[in-house]
Structure 1
């Protein structure tokens, strides 16, 4: 089974870049990372996360985790920042050209541009620690500029975060030969006693999560929600 390493940048006491609005990079990268994990798991892949919540994880620990778990590739998630408020593009970084990381980057980058409509910053090279120290091919995605007020306002929304997660998934799917779209499995079902059942009804199209990406498994269903689920079952029976 293919194993993917996802590295939501920063976290814990390290907020990363901070927008004028107060939006923190660490929150954006985690939300996109969790969304991406759900899509990859929905496609049957194993996922290793460097963090799944508010945690201080050193760069060294991140690389060591992925190497120890022998992942097949690594995607590190970040949001760019600049001294000017007008910087506005999305880009994907690799350590050097000519390897599998470049192929992965070329699969992801156009999907990001298409999903966001932001200018294409292209495939770039950088000596970033996570790119240099992981044994597996690694790319680092800079998801726009948090220093740009318009971009920051979009990055604060669940819709944009889900769009970014879907774009990165589609790039990875093209590289790995996976279906271009899979049902998103909400992160809040992880560990729930009915997780397996919830995954099955989502995969069957009978139920889905809420627009904010949650499923709220312990929340009572309304009569309308029950009727909608039963209607989908009836449609399949017919």
Structure 2
């Protein structure tokens, strides 16, 4: 009996220790490397949440949050999602993170999709080109290239300075989105909360460290706030929301998802998402212009536009609404899942999302999956009211047939137009 009691005691101690080690490891994670052959990325911290994308073995993901033994990670396309902590391993990110570097390769430096010479080339950098290094590991530097994460051989670059050194003349301001937002003592979720900020509070940006902005608190302390909970504007003006009360007076930016070397999803019958979104955008544009609205497309032909470039169109034209158009797909090609979903990020845009979603639900012959929060770059990093529409599943044959129908595009155009009109009227 004593031996049995001793065994149970030792086993319990080992389990508790393992839990503590796991907790410490998660708290200290800056980046993780995928261990599974294929890892599902979900829209929440648990197996019950929808799969939004997948990543492959060996990919390195930057950690921006943690909950219930799940990591919130930033993906190469700028979006974020949740991955199971037990299917990844922690990896160190060097002090070269968030630094400016100069290319010094006389024969040109290949920009690659992965940290390997076997990966595809995205382009070539020339000697003297200046790049922003996001992180560095195993002889490879992760950089920003044409709006996406990419990799270059670190042997051919020279680190110059940290991007946290910001010229005073280039300072911008940020505005807090929601009440009780944490300002922390360091650029990490483990940092001590030194101030609580409320919706509408504004701070000047003193510097940038990864996904965090350095600011000065009301008491003069140096603090950090996560970039996914704020809106950024120029030093002299704060991000503004629409005051338009009529659709005929509004400026609408329509964003046909994907394009160029980014085809998006593909249906069983060969439908390419980038082509379907452009056709849909043109149908919506024609209907909106009938009401007198000013309509701008982020692209009007098959070309690649970076995610940042898309949001800049909205900012440049001071859009009253930004509507990104997509068609969903499931990796397992489950045909039983179909319908349309409306996503928003900022709580200030919830009304816009619900209005459009309600109208689409009334006009489309598909399941209405509702309006919900989605952490997509084009809505998260948008200074204007923004929503992202998933207007059907290309993995569903029924939805794919609808998507290729001109009558379905007409119904989408009617629904979006009605939803926008109701939004501005209210």
TM-score computed with the length of structure 1 as normaliser: 0.71
Q: Counterpart of 2:343?
A: 93
Describe the superposition over 1:145-177 as per-residue Cα deviations: whole angstroms up to 9, x where unpaired.
111011101111111111111111111111123
SS of equivalent residue, structure 2 residue 414 = helix
Q: How does 1:35-54 map to 2 (within 5 A)?
A: 35-54=283-302
Q: Counterpart of 2:369?
A: 121
Q: How does 1:33-182 map to 2 (within 5 A)?
A: 33-82=281-330, 83=332, 84-97=334-347, 99=348, 101-177=349-425
- Deviation of residue 85 (structure 1)? 1.8
SS of equivalent residue, structure 2 residue 299 = coil
Describe the superposition over 1:29-81 as per-residue Cα deviations: whole angstroms up to 9, x where unpaired.
11111111112211111111101111111111111121112111101111111
Aligned residues: 176
- Deviation of residue 108 (structure 1)? 0.9
SS of equivalent residue, structure 1 residue 40 = helix
Q: Confirm whether residue 8 of structure 1 aligns to residue 256 of structure 2.
A: yes
**Does the aligned pair in 2 maintain the 1:28–1:161 contact within 8 Å?**
no
Aligned equivalents of 2:361, 2:304: Cα separation in 1: 31
Q: Would the alpha carbon gap of residues 96 and 71 (structure 1) be closer, same or farther in structure 2, given more than 3 Å must change?
A: closer
- Deviation of residue 89 (structure 1)? 2.0
Q: Which structure has more RCO (C-alpha within 8 Å, separation ≥ 6)? A: 1
Cα RMSD (Å) of the superposition? 1.4
**Does the aligned pair in 1 maintain the 2:339–2:399 contact within 8 Å?**
no
**Does the aligned pair in 1 maintain the 2:262–2:304 contact within 8 Å?**
yes
- Deviation of residue 129 (structure 1)? 0.4
SS of equivalent residue, structure 1 residue 12 = coil
Aligned equivalents of 2:404, 2:288: Cα separation in 1: 23
**Does the aligned pair in 1 maintain the 2:346–2:380 contact within 8 Å?**
no
**Does the aligned pair in 2 maintain the 1:8–1:26 contact within 8 Å?**
yes
SS of equivalent residue, structure 1 residue 153 = helix
SS of equivalent residue, structure 1 residue 41 = helix
Q: Confirm whether residue 29 of structure 1 aligns to residue 274 of structure 2.
A: no
Q: Counterpart of 1:225?
A: none
Q: Counterpart of 1:235?
A: none
**Does the aligned pair in 2 maintain the 1:91–1:122 contact within 8 Å?**
yes
TM-score computed with the length of structure 2 as normaliser: 0.40
SS of equivalent residue, structure 2 residue 395 = coil
**Bigger Rg over Cα:** 2
Structure 1: gaps of 5 or more residues: 179-238
Aligned equivalents of 2:321, 2:412: Cα separation in 1: 18
Aligned equivalents of 1:81, 1:32: Cα separation in 2: 17
Aligned equivalents of 1:6, 1:56: Cα separation in 2: 15
Pick the structure with more helix per residue: 1
Aligned equivalents of 1:113, 1:146: Cα separation in 2: 18
